[in-house]
């Protein structure tokens, strides 16, 4: 029984998109018969091998259910209970995980305000202090998001500079890669180049935002910087009994570069959306719209009147990012079509040309 219009697509979140047909096919192929539970199946073994081809022979892979679970469990494995994590104030671990890092793991988040969602060595130093002070949670890790929550992108050089800075201060570098595929497509370099080779120690590898039904993976890039994941994954309720179905999806995403083609398409649709609206602004067709962040992957951040945004939202769903400032976020997905973009641009133009 179908309960929704499968031709409707909005711009609220890449989580809204359904599963990619190749991902669904992979789940079907992994079904049938019996496989050993809790990760001793052949699909998880193959995933471990494939991840090594992308991140290096030292890489250890732990499939999990979701991004929050990946982030919290990964960070927990890098520090004692008195540890703290430095992140941006817009980081998902701070704004959108219900306090899970602090409630589940007991670690402290030390946040830094940034204009573009990106950390830098100088910004990290606003919180990287107080080691040996018993009155302060100890800064033991830095967490960056690639791409960021504001749709911006760390270059390989950016990440290397942060890694060197963090390591020189004895801190571990974690990457929240919920949209790592979009970053890889935008940078045009192999995954390893901006993770392992750039000095990232532990990675949350995202799949759900890029066509998976569910599931992510923790990838330990430097095993010396992480401990106890074999036990923490279960402790944090992230150990799937039928893990083959998570691993099979990740395999389908990685093999034949599906992760790149899907993410690259989403990025291209965001570029098309922004370019079309910039054309309307330049032509004087519309007014009252400006862009608040660079469009470097699959997100477009814009500012417009709240009432106008609400009227456009009657046709295409999207989220306010900062309603007080009139800032909205438009997300493109692997299944966004050119026709979707053209229809959305027409709706925005119709509203803002009044």
Q: Do both 175 and 277 map to the same domain?
A: no
Contact 106, 138 (CB under 8 A): no
CA dihedral 226, 227, 228, 229 (to 10 degrees): 20
Q: Do both 166 and 64 map to the same domain?
A: yes
Q: Residue 127: its pLDDT value, please?
A: 98
Q: Is the per-residue pLDDT at 24 higher than 90?
A: yes
Q: What is the pLDDT of residues 126-185, one digit of tens each?
A: 999 999 999 999 999 999 999 999 999 999 999 999 999 999 999 999 999 999 999 999
Separation in Å, CA 180 to CA 214, 270, 346: 16, 16, 31
In a domain, 8, yes or no: no
Q: Do both 248 and 271 map to the same domain?
A: no
In a domain, 10, yes or no: no
Quick one: average pLDDT of 44-72?
Answer: 98
Q: What is the pLDDT of residues 335-349, one digit of tens each?
A: 999 999 999 999 999
Q: Residue 352: its pLDDT value, please?
A: 97
pLDDT band at 263 (very low <50, low <70, confident <90, very high): very high
Range of the domain at 288: 259-352
Q: Residue 354: its pLDDT value, please?
A: 76
Average predicted confidence (pLDDT) for the chain: 97
Quick one: average pLDDT of 48-76?
Answer: 98
3-class secondary structure, 143: strand
Q: Do both 58 and 187 map to the same domain?
A: yes
Q: What is the pLDDT of residues 277-325, one digit of tens each?
A: 999 999 999 999 999 999 999 999 999 999 999 999 999 999 999 999 9
Q: Is the per-residue pLDDT at 103 higher than 80?
A: yes
Q: What is the pLDDT of residues 194-251, one digit of tens each?
A: 999 999 999 999 999 999 999 999 999 999 999 999 999 999 999 999 999 999 999 9
Residue 243: closest CA among 52, 50, 40: 40
Q: Do both 282 and 245 map to the same domain?
A: no
Number of domains making up the chain? 2
Contact 340, 308 (CB under 8 A): no
């Amino acid at each position: 029984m179908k309960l929704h219009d499968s031709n409707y697509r909005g711009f609220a979140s890449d989580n809204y998109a359904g599963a990619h047909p190749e991902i669904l096919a992979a789940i079907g192929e992994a079904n049938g018969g019996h496989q050993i539970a809790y990760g001793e199946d052949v699909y998880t073994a193959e995933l471990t091998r494939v991840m090594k081809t992308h991140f290096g022979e030292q890489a250890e892979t732990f499939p999990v259910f979701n991004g929050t679970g990946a982030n919290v469990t990964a960070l927990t494995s890098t520090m004692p209970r008195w540890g703290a994590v430095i992140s941006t104030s817009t980081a998902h671990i701070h704004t959108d995980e219900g306090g899970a890092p602090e409630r589940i793991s007991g670690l402290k988040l030390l946040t830094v305000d940034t204009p573009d969602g990106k950390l830098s060595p100088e910004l990290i130093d606003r919180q990287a202090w107080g080691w040996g002070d018993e009155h302060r949670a100890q800064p033991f890790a830095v967490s960056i998001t690639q791409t960021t929550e504001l749709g911006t992108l760390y270059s390989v050089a950016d990440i290397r500079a942060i890694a060197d800075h963090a390591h020189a201060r004895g801190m571990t570098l974690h990457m929240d890669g919920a949209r790592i595929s979009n970053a890889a497509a935008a940078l045009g370099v192999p995954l390893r180049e901006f993770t392992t080779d750039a000095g990232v120690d532990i990675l949350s590898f995202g799949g759900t935002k890029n066509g998976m039904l569910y599931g992510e993976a923790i990838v330990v890039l430097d095993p010396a910087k992480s401990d106890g994941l074999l036990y923490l994954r279960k402790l944090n309720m992230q150990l799937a009994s039928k893990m083959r179905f998570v691993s099979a999806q990740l395999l389908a995403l990685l093999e034949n570069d599906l992760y790149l083609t899907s993410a690259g398409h989403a990025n291209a649709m965001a570029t098309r959306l922004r370019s079309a609206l910039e054309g309307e602004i330049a032509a004087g067709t519309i007014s009252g719209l400006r862009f608040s962040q660079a469009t470097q992957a699959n997100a477009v951040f814009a500012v417009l009147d709240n009432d106008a945004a609400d009227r456009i939202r009657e046709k295409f769903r999207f989220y306010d990012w900062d309603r007080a400032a009139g800032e909205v976020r438009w997300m493109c997905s692997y299944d966004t079509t050119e026709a979707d973009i053209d229809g959305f641009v027409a709706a925005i133009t119709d509203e803002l040309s009044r």
